[in-house]
Amino acid sequence: MFLFLALMTGCTNQMDSRKEIRIWAMGKEGEVLGTLVPAFERLHPDIKVRVQALPWTAAHEKLLTAFAGESLPDLCQLGNTWMPEFTALNALEELTPWITQSKVVQAKDYFRGIWASNVFDNQVFGIPWYVDTRLLFYRKDLLEKAGYTSPPQTWHEWKTAMQQIKKQVGPDKYAVLLPLNEFEPPIIFALQQPEEMLRENGTRGNFQSRSFKKAYGYYLDLFRSQLSPSVGNQEISNVWQEFGRGYFSFYITGPWNVSEFKARLPQSLQPAWATAPMPAPEVGQAPNSMAGGASLVIFKASKRKAEAWAFLEYLSRPEVQIRFNELTGDLPPRLSAWQNPKLADDPYMRAFRQQLEFTRPTPKVPEWERIATELRLTTEVVLSGRKSIEIALKELDTTTDRILEKRRWMMAQNRAMP
Amino acid sequence: MNTPALPIGTVRAAWFFVAPALLLIVVFFFVPVLAAFCLSFTDFDIYALANPDHLRVVGLKNYQELLASDDFWKAIGNTFYFVLVGGPLSVGISLGTALLLQSKVVRFKSFFRTVFFAPVVTTIVAVAVVWRYLYHTKYGFLNYILHFLGINPVDWLGDPAWAMPAIILMAVWKGFGYNMVIFIAGLQNIPDELYESARIDGAGAWQQFWHVTLPMLAPTFLFVGLMTMIGYFQLFAEPYVMTLGGPLQSTVSIVYLMYEQGFKWWNLGYAAAVAFVLFAIMLVATLIQFRLQKTDAS
């Protein structure tokens, strides 16, 4: 009995001497992160990692409340679209000094667009953990039937192919699905154009620019010429089933859907679908898509930054990223991880590998998600015929300017900006 | 009215006893409400959260913007729809079930009372999971019944015209048990002699209900009506768990708008202004209802 007690106290003493770091992760990542911890703790016997999983729906609110209440963890998974906000809050540790000393984290081993979404004023605030971009999922068989043996390379080619498909499938079916409740498709087309969607250092809307009008015009035309149905995702209750039925042949979506399509499409249709990089506006132009995904960040308020960095470094190792990919299906942000045959030889992944070379971040302002939501509502208004494109885009610029008013005021005050 | 002066010692003792409760109310209610009121005249947002220097006092700008925004009027419309249709429906069904459970022909009364009260104490999230299945366009029980009756399926939560009725139906089902219990208590307080003398005077069942039950229930009605209205004005959980305000903003209520502005976009100044507008609306509605009941009684 005494021996047992002695052992117990021995154990607890040992536990107490370890330095504990806390990490928050969301969704599926939060669920599986725990399985990577024991191996790290064996390498660093002095560190104890406590993982807390947050559901995505509550994560943003919880992070901001924790910031206000000064109860943030040491490090955290942060979606790329949230980076500008937390940089504006001045909540994140600048990582450049840590990176220069690191043997593991090498900026040039990361996809450029993804790395760029973590950089504000030449300062790095996050290390990409996994990447996420959108590209074409398409029905090879239907495209072949319409006379095409390879996926389209340019906007023009794509549209001609869609028109051919539409001829084949008839009035009740379509060539592409661009759900109206998603703001991503028009934004992807706009990211392929030279001009930014916000001007004057992200303080005013630039939706009446030539670039945006061209991108948005192409997007809206796909609805008007009946190539895409004017529906939201809630009306397509089962997107996989509809894809299988040939309701549409092209769909712009992300890596999470690869495993879904593999699992949900019937065996007979498995050889009939493939992935391809986004088409470019013209030959020779960059076929850009969004630089999505999540990064790992260390909070400024953390008292265990060295230990937190050690864990961040561990998670950034290529072999750990491969293991993480097996657990979650998330795509690694490092070029060296992509040399692993598991990814390099996967036909569905090849398109993602190509697309990741061509990603561009969305405007890096905290208000972006709100502005993108306004863009989505604009699309509904224009397609319903209540307003012309010209007027709707003018109003979108006005709304955007109003949303960014505070940001302009702060710039004028010459305060530190993200 | 003349109240005899109390000895100082008694007054002090009274203060001493109510002090803890008062303190709690002041600290956790009046201070935050006052702070929120002040907040509604500022542009408090994430920039201000980062650095208090970024806070601007904007006067009535939040209120002006609010009154000029389409989203706000849409939310007002949706909320009134919910209150004016859902409220009376809920009170009516509560009264109906209460009368049924009080009548002498019904058996297993306590069993039914428990069954009808059960949804009130069930968490909204669990209820939402079940109701989402009931409302499912293809596999839902409701559309199964409609199909049986030869009616085309309804996209309950996906169609802007049907989403609010669907929310009302669920909210009424979930909440009527509470008012029912209060009505039962009210009915039990009506002395049997009144019915007896009404019967002797030759009153039928309907006349008894109209001339005895309803007038005697007036105070209960006032309470139930007010509480239901106040609760229904604060519609939030149902759209939050069922539709997230959609489709096409058709289930965005005032409180949901406030939540979105405050906790999604973190415009706390603007969200505070929404809260005080809602408060003003509810205050007016309550006063109107008081006035109506008073004229009824006199």
Question: What average pLDDT does range A376-396 have in this prediction?
Answer: 91
CA atoms within 13 A on the CB side of A104: 16
State whether B51 and A91 contact (CB < 8 Å). no
Residues A147 and A192 placed together within one structural domain of the fold: yes
Same domain, A305 and A262: no
- Euclidean distance between CA atoms B186 and B215, whole angstroms: 11
Write out the DSSP string of B246-286: -STTTT--HHHHHHIIIIIS--HHHHHHHHHHHHHHHHHHH
pLDDT-derived band at B297 (thresholds 50, 70, 90) equals: low
A144 touches chain B (CB under 8 A): no
Q: What share of chain A is helix, strand, coil (3-state, %, to 5)?
A: 50, 15, 30
Judged by CB atoms closer than 8 Å, whether chains meet at A61 and B54 is answered as no
Say yes or no for a CB contact (<8 Å) between B51 and A67.
no
Q: Do A409 and B137 touch (CB under 8 A)?
A: no
Residue A290: half-sphere exposure toward Cβ, Cα within 13 Å = 24
Q: CB–CB of A133/A352 below 8 Å? A: yes
Taking the Cβ of residue A293 and every Cβ of chain B, the question of whether any pair is shorter than 8 Å is answered with no
Select from B46, B158, B263 the Cβ nearest to the Cβ of A235.
B158
* Closest-approach residue (CA) in chain B for A234: B158
Taking CB atoms and an 8 Å limit, are B49 and A237 in contact across chains?
no
Q: According to the model, what pLDDT value does residue A414 have?
A: 64
pLDDT band at B202 (very low <50, low <70, confident <90, very high): confident
Would you say residue A329 lies in a domain? yes
Q: Which of A89, A232, A234 sits opposite B46 (nearest CB)?
A: A89
Chain A contact for B247 (CB, 8 A cutoff): yes
Task: Report residue A314 as tokens.
Answer: 């561990």
Which residue of A233, A235, A379, A398 to mutate against B (max B Cβ within 10 Å)?
Answer: A235
Residue bearing tokens 């089933």: A241
Half-sphere CA count of B102, side-chain side, radius 13 A:
20
Phi then psi for residue A47, to 5 deg, are -115, 140
CATH code: domain B70-297 is 1.10.3720.10
Taking the Cβ of residue A409 and every Cβ of chain B, the question of whether any pair is shorter than 8 Å is answered with yes
Determine, for residues A370 and B54 on separate chains, whether the beta-carbon distance falls below 8 Å: no
A172 domain-assigned? yes
Task: Quote the domain boundaries for residue A273.
Answer: 135-289+363-412
pLDDT score of A23: 96
Average pLDDT over chain A, rounded to an integer: 90
Report phi then psi at A340, rounded to 5. Answer: -60, 130
The DSSP string of B23-61 is: HHHIIIIIHHHHHHHHHTTB---HHHHH-GGG--B-TTH
CA A93, CA A89: separation in Å to the nearest integer? 11
Give the pLDDT band (50/70/90) at residue B51.
Answer: confident
Residue from A406, A411, A417 to probe the interface with B (highest B Cβ count within 10 Å): A406
Please list every residue in chain B whose beta carbon sits closer than 8 Å to the beta carbon of residue A91: 50
Same domain as A302, residue A271: no
With tokens 């419309």, the residue in question is B77
pTM for the structure as a whole = 0.81
Question: Token pair for residue A386?
Answer: 């209540």
- B153 to chain A, any CB pair closer than 8 A? The answer is no
By the CB < 8 Å criterion, does A32 face chain B? no
Instruction: Let me know: does B141 contact B60? Beta carbons within 8 Å.
Output: no
**pLDDT over threshold 80, residue A236:** no
Residues of chain A above pLDDT 90, percent: 75
Q: What confidence score (pLDDT) does residue A110 get? A: 95
pLDDT per residue as tens digits for the range B61-72? 999 999 998 889
- A397 assigned to some structural domain: yes
Report how many domains make up chain A. Answer: 2
Testing the interface with A: which of B47, B65, B74, B244 to mutate, by most A Cβ within 10 A?
A: B47
* CATH number of A248's domain: 3.40.190.10
Q: Are A89 and B50 inside 8 Å of each other by CB?
A: yes
**Is residue A77 a contact partner of residue A330, using CB atoms and an 8 Å limit?**
no
**Whether B70 contacts chain A with CB within 8 A:** no
Span A267-325, pLDDT tens digits: 999 999 999 999 999 998 999 999 989 999 999 999 999 999 999 999 999 999 999 99
User: Distances in Å between the alpha carbon of A19 and those of A23, A30, A169, B123?
Assistant: 13, 21, 63, 39
Query: CB-based contact (8 Å) between B68 and chain A?
Result: no
Q: Residues B12-43: pLDDT tens digits?
A: 999 999 999 999 999 999 999 999 999 999 99
Give the tens place of pLDDT for each residue, A86-143: 998 899 999 999 999 999 999 999 999 899 999 998 999 999 999 999 999 999 999 9
Whether residues B46 and A85 touch (CB distance < 8 A) is answered with yes
A175 & A278 share domain: yes
- Closest partner residue to B47 (CB to CB) among A91, A181, A410 is A410
Give the pLDDT confidence score for residue A362 in this predicted structure. Answer: 93
- Asked if this assembly's ipTM is beyond 0.90, the reply is no
A96 and A14 in a common domain:
yes
Strands A250-253 and A135-139: antiparallel
Q: Is residue A10 within 8 Å of residue A39, measured between CB atoms?
A: no
| A350 in any annotated domain | no
Contact with chain A for residue B231, Cβ under 8 A = no
Q: What is the pLDDT of residue A410?
A: 85
Q: Which residues of A touch B56 (CB under 8 A)?
A: 409
One domain for residues A174 and A280? yes
Q: Which residues of A touch B42 (CB under 8 A)?
A: none
Distance CA A61, CA B266 (A): 9
Q: Does A17 touch chain B (CB under 8 A)?
A: no
Q: Which of B45, B56, B247 sits opposite A234 (nearest CB)?
A: B247
Residue B42, min C-alpha distance to chain A (Å): 12
CB contact under 8 A, A410 and B137: no
Closest by CA to B265, choosing from A60, A133, A38, A290, is A60
Which tens digit of pLDDT belongs to each residue from A53-80?
A: 998 878 888 998 899 889 999 999 999 8
User: Peptide bond before A347: cis, by omega within 30 degrees of 0?
Assistant: no
pLDDT at A234: 62
The chain-wide mean pLDDT, for chain B, equals 89
* Same domain (yes/no): A284, A306: no
pLDDT at B79: 95
In a domain, A215, yes or no: yes
Residue A85 and residue B264: Cβ atoms within 8 Å? no
The confidence band for A10, taking pLDDT boundaries of 50, 70 and 90, is very low
Residue A402: per-residue pLDDT: 92
Shortest CA gap A94–chain B (Å): 16
Q: Which of B56, B157, B266 sits opposite A64 (nearest CB)?
A: B266
pLDDT at B137 over 80: no
More confident residue, B129 or A166: A166
Q: A310 and A299 in one domain?
A: yes
Give DSSP secondary structure letters for A23-82. Answer: EEEEHHHHHHHGGGHHHHHHH-TTEEEEEEEE-HHHHHHHHHHHHHTT---SEEEEEGGG
What is the mean pLDDT of the segment spanning B186-190?
91
Is the predicted pLDDT of residue B285 greater than 60, yes or no? yes
**Alpha helices (H) in A148-289, listed in sequence order:** 155-169, 184-191, 210-224, 239-245, 256-264
The two tokens of residue A407 are 């940001």
